[in-house]
A and B are shown apart, each in its own frame.
Chain A
Amino acid sequence: MSLLYFVILPLLASFLTPFFRNYLRYISLAVNLMLLALSFSFLGSLPIRESISFDSPLSIAFVLDSASLFFIVLFLSIMTLFSIYAIRDKSRKDIFILTNMLLASVSGLVLSGDIFNIYIFFEIASISAYILTSLQKDKEAYSGAIRYMIMGAVASIFLLIGIMTIYLNLGTLNLVTIGEKFSTIDNQIKSLTLISLFIGFGIKAEIFPLNFWVVDIYQASTNRVNALFSSVLSKAYIFLFFHIAYILGVNIKILSFLAILGIISFGVSEISALSSKNLKRVFAYSTLGQIGVLFIALSSSSIVATTGAIFLIALHAITKLMLFLSLDILEDRFSSVNIDIFKKFNSLFLISIFAIGFLSLLGVPPFGGFIAKLTILEGLITKSEYILVGAILVISLIEAVYLFKLLGMSREAGEKSSLDIPILKRGVLSIMALSIIYLGIFPELFLQICKSVALALVGVDNV
C-alpha cells in the first residue's frame, strides 16, 4: 500500500465531481474512513520511505514517520468529523470539492520528503484555502479572498527565494541531504535562507509579526471553513515550520527568538480579543493565541514541552472544530455573529459545549487543555524559563476575561429563544466534547503517543 494514496484518493474524489455530484459527500466520508484504515495499517512499520521515479538524491520522496502519521491521522479524523457534521446539508455540498483538495494537499505537506514537493503542496493548499474563503460569494468573502491571496503570494515568493538559495548552494532538494549538508554553507547565505524560509512558512503558520492578515480572513469566511482553517491548516503549517527548522538545524539563539515571538503573539492576540465584538474575530484571536503557545512550547529544547505541544495541537484542533461548528449553528439561527447573540439563545446543550470548549482553551481541569498546558509548563520550567511560564499564566488570565464574559452573557436573564439542533450535529459535537473530557481524565496513553511523535519531530540527536 503506497503512501501516495493519501494524496491521490482525495484529489480523485475532488476532480471526478462532475460524475457524482450529489454523492460527493458520502464519497468524501468513505474516502476519509478508508484512508484512516490505511493509516492505521502502517502503524507497525514506521518509518517508511517511498521514492517515486528514480532513487535519491534525484527523486521525489515520501516519508512516513511517527510524527507524520500522527498528523495524518489527526487531519483525517477532523475531516471525518467535519464530513459527518456537514453530510446532511444539501445546499452547501460543494464545500466537499475543496475539502478534499485541502486534505490531499495537507497530507502531501506532511508526508513529503523533499523541499520542492513541499512548495507544490503548499501552493495547492493555499489555492484550496483561497477558494474556501470565498465560498459565500459576497463582498466580504471576495475581499477576504483577495487579501489572503496577496499575503499568500508574498509567502510563496519568500519560500521560493529560500528554496532557490538552498538548491544553488547545496545542489539537492532532498530534506535529509539538506539537513546533513546545511551547516556547510557560509553564514551570510545561511542567514538569507533561514530568514526567507522563516517569513515564507511563518506567514502561513501565523506567528506574531506576520499574522495581521489572519483575523480578517476568519471574518470573511463561513464558520465551517474557519473550523477547517483553525484545526487543519494552521496545524499543518506549524508542523511544517518546525519540521524544516529541526531538519535545518537551528541553534539556541533562533529558538529563543521563536519563543519570544510566541509569547508576544500570545499576549497581543489575547489582549486584542478583549475588545472585539465579532465572534468570528474573537475565535480567530484565540486561535492566534494558542499558536503563540505552540511556538513557545515547540521551540523550547525540552522533550516534555514538545510532548505537551503535540498534545495541545490535537486538543486544540478538536476544540476549535467544536467551537466553530457550534458558532455555525448560532449563526444559522440568528444571522449575525455579534457578541450579543450569546444573550439570545437558551439551549443547555449548546451552552455546555461552549463551556467545555472555553474551559479547555483556558487549560482548566478536568479537561484536556489542562493536561496540555501542564505538560508544557513542566517542560518549560525544567529549562528554567520562569518568565515565559509566568507570562503564559498571566495572559491565560486575560484570556479568561473575554471567554467568561461570553459564558456569563449567555446565562443572563432576558429574552431568549430556543434552538433546534438536529441529532446528527448534536452527536458530532458530543463526541468531540466527550473526547476532550476523556483526554483530560485519562491522558496517559495519549501522552505516550505524543512523546514518540515529539521525539520523531525534534530528531533524537537534537534532544
Chain B
Amino acid sequence: MLDSFNQTQFLHSVITIGSLLIFAIGLVGVLIKKNLFKIFLSFAIIESSLFIYFIGMHFEVEKVAPMLTDKVTKFSTNMTDPVPQAMILTTIVIGIAVLALALSFIINYFKLTNNMRVDDMNELGDEK
C-alpha cells in the first residue's frame, strides 16, 4: 500500500505543499519579528524552502543519484539532473556566507549601540 505513495506526482505535491508552508513560516518571520537575528534566520528558512522545492521537483522515483559508483559505471539518462544539484550546492554556500556576514554586522552593531531590535534602528534618516 505504501507503494501508492511512492509516485512522482504525489511526492511532488508533498514537496510543494511543504515548501510553501516553510516559505510562509519564513515570510512571517521576516515581516513580523523585530529581533535582528530572527529576521536573518527567517531569511535562511525561506531559502531552505526554495532549495527543498527545487531539488524536490527534479526528483523522479525511478532515477538514481548522478554519481559514478561501482555499480553505476557510466552516465545515462537514468540519472536525475545534476545541474540543479550543483546550483543548490552553490547557493547554499552563498547563503551561509551572507548569513555569516550578517552575523558579524549584527555583533558589531550590538557592541556599539546595545540594540537588537529593528524598530529602534534610527541612526539614519533625514533630520526634520
Show the binding face of A for B, using Cβ within 8 Å: 58, 116, 119-120, 123, 126-127, 130-131, 134, 137-140, 142-147, 149-150, 152-154, 156-157, 160-161, 163-164, 167-168, 173, 216, 219-220, 275-278, 281
Contacts and interface: CB of A to CB of B under 8 A. Distances in A.
Given A143-B109, A167-B54, A219-B125, 5 more contacts: A120-B90, A137-B108, A157-B43, A161-B50, A277-B126
24 contacts: A58-B83, A123-B94, A123-B98, A134-B105, A134-B108, A139-B112, A139-B113, A142-B109, A142-B112, A143-B123, A146-B106, A147-B124, A149-B101, A150-B39, A150-B43, A153-B43, A157-B50, A160-B91, A161-B50, A168-B57, A219-B125, A276-B126, A277-B126, A278-B127
A211 B94 CA distance: 24
Given A120-B94, A123-B98, A157-B47, A139 B123 contact: yes
A160 B102 contact: no
A455 to B, nearest CB: 33
A137 to B, nearest CB: 7
Nearest to B122: A143
A146 B109 contact: yes
Given A140-B124, A142-B108, A157-B46, A164 B102 contact: no
Given A140-B123, A219-B124, A146 B87 contact: no
A146 B50 contact: no
A-side binding surface: helix, strand, loop or mixed?
helix
A138 B105 CA distance: 11
A149 B127 contact: no
A143 B121 contact: yes
B100 to A, nearest CB: 10
Given A153-B43, A167-B83, A146 B36 contact: yes
B97 interface: yes
Interface residues of B, number: 34
Nearest to A58: B83
Contacts of A216: 124-125
A127 B98 CA distance: 7
Nearest to B46: A157
B18 interface: no
A141 to B, nearest CB: 9
Contacts of A144: 124
Interface string B87-120: 1001100100110011001101100110000000
Residue of A123, A140, A147, A278 most packed against chain B (CB within 10 A): A123
Contacts of B109: 139, 142-143, 146
Interface of B: 30, 36, 39-40, 43, 46-47, 50, 53-54, 57-58, 83-84, 87, 90-91, 94, 97-98, 101-102, 105-106, 108-109, 112-113, 121, 123-127
Contacts of A220: 124
Contacts of B50: 157, 160-161, 164
Contacts of A147: 121, 124
Contacts of B105: 130, 134, 142, 145-146, 149
A167 to B, nearest CB: 7
Contacts of A127: 97-98, 101
Contact of A160 (B47, B108, B123, B125): B47
Nearest to A218: B124
Contacts of B123: 139-140, 143
Nearest to B121: A143
Contact of B101 (A130, A138, A160, A163): A130
B124 A143 contact: yes
A173 B91 CA distance: 15
For the complex of A and B, 6 pairs with smallest distance between CB atoms: A142-B109, A216-B124, A139-B112, A153-B43, A140-B123, A123-B94
A388 B105 CA distance: 43
Given A120-B94, A157-B46, A160-B50, A146 B102 contact: yes
Nearest to B86: A116
B126 A281 contact: yes
Nearest to A217: B124
Contacts of A157: 43, 46-47, 50
Contacts of A143: 109, 113, 121, 123-124
A164 B54 contact: yes
B46 A149 contact: no
A314 to B, nearest CB: 31
